Amino acid sequence: MRGIQVHRFGGPEVMALHPIERPVADAGEVVIEVRAAGVNPVDTYIRSGAYARLPALPYVPGWDGAGVVVEAGPGVDRVRAGDRVYFSGTVAGRGVGAYAELACCRADQVFPLPGRLSFAQGAAIGVPYATAHRALFHRAGARAGETALVHGASGAVGLAAVQLALAHGLTVLGTAGSDAGRRLVREQGAHGVMSHGDPGHLAEILAFTDGRGVDLIVEMLANVNLDGDLDLLAPGGRVVVVGSRGRVEIDPRKTMGKESAILGMSLWNAGDAELREVHERLAPGLAGGALTPVVGAEFPLAEAARAHQAVLAGGAAGKVVLGVS
């Protein structure tokens, strides 16, 4: 089989198609014929070598994908050959991720893909929806009736957060940098849509809430927005830092009177049991239509380098995926 393999850390050009040994499912494992792979920003950080957790070289990038089960190892009863599935994570230590024609996963990393969703949409579920779920419910403790701001709603995690918050009865505001992004966020049903490129958007958000502020913020670019977020929070408000690409100065005094909280979030901290539970919770929404992944751009596997450029380019309007076979 073939897959994208990285032999040295560096720019997108270090990714090239290579022949790779065909995986075999051991006990408790599943081999999947990958039809689409999700491109997450973290894939680019790892590929560049500028990330705290780096795999041994060479490795095949990619965490998320969707496809058809071709082999279920001994002891696997959750799925069987022929099932349409999505997966999030592959067997650790083998150096083979999702950017390949075949992926080998632990059975508990594999979930049924509802018939209403394409493989490309399936590849957009894993990291984005688990991240959005963890940020909203595990960290921010989001409750029906509250108001959430998804600061950066046009990308993969942001759209998932908008859909999840709406499905749980929150009032949702979302921001995007482009017209296409804002249109998309509006189409999801967000109650208010603003432009994070417009310095006036903070005033617009406050005005939307009649000056009270929002109960929680899912923040995609904390190094730009965190200090302003503290002005937007209502009393008892929480901001969850999901994405940040640099340093920022904040005024901590802003947290005092409102007893607001800044909460970090890393999906890596979710254990296997928590992740399984999250995907169980996503299942009804994925099957029923409340959760519908949005694919913004699809590239062939051989053009993984272009996909990595696209995911960092800005002007997001959904998820970047690789079409595999």
Closest to ligand NAP by CB, 83 vs 227, is: 227
Asked if residue 311 binds ligand NAP (CB under 6 A), the reply is yes
Edge-to-edge strand ranges of the sheet holding 171-176:
192-195, 171-176, 147-151, 214-219, 233-241, 261-264
Asked if residue 89 binds ligand NAP (CB under 6 A), the reply is no
Asked if residue 110 binds ligand NAP (CB under 6 A), the reply is no
Asked if residue 173 binds ligand NAP (CB under 6 A), the reply is no
| SS3 state at 165 | helix
| SS3 state at 292 | coil
Asked if residue 42 binds ligand NAP (CB under 6 A), the reply is yes
Stretch that binds ligand NAP, among 36-44, 71-79, 103-111, 281-289 (CB under 6 A): 36-44
Contact characters 255-284, ligand NAP, x per CB under 6 A: ----------xxx-----------------
Q: Where do the H-state alpha helices sit in the chain? A: 41-48, 119-122, 126-133, 156-167, 179-187, 201-208, 222-232, 272-288, 304-312
Q: How far is CA 302 from CA 2, 43, 308, 312, in A?
A: 10, 16, 12, 18
- Select the residue interacting with ligand NAP from 114, 243, 293, 323 (CB under 6 A): 243
Please list every residue from 134 through 163 that binds ligand NAP, using CB under 6 A: 151-158
Contact characters 192-231, ligand NAP, x per CB under 6 A: ----x-----------------------xx--xx------
Asked if residue 240 binds ligand NAP (CB under 6 A), the reply is no
Asked if residue 128 binds ligand NAP (CB under 6 A), the reply is yes
Closest to ligand NAP by CB, 118 vs 154, is: 154
Q: How far apart are CA 270 and CA 272, in angstroms?
A: 7
Closest to ligand NAP by CB, 88 vs 175, is: 175
Cβ-proximal residue to ligand NAP, closest one: 155
Please report how close the Cβ of residue 28 comes to ligand NAP at its closest, in angstroms: 26
| Token pair recorded at residue 214 | 């929002």
- Going by C-alpha positions, the residue among 133, 111, 107 that lies closest to residue 121 is 111
Beta-bridged to residue 34, according to DSSP, are 67
- Going by C-alpha positions, the residue among 163, 97, 81 that lies closest to residue 128 is 163
Asked if residue 12 binds ligand NAP (CB under 6 A), the reply is no
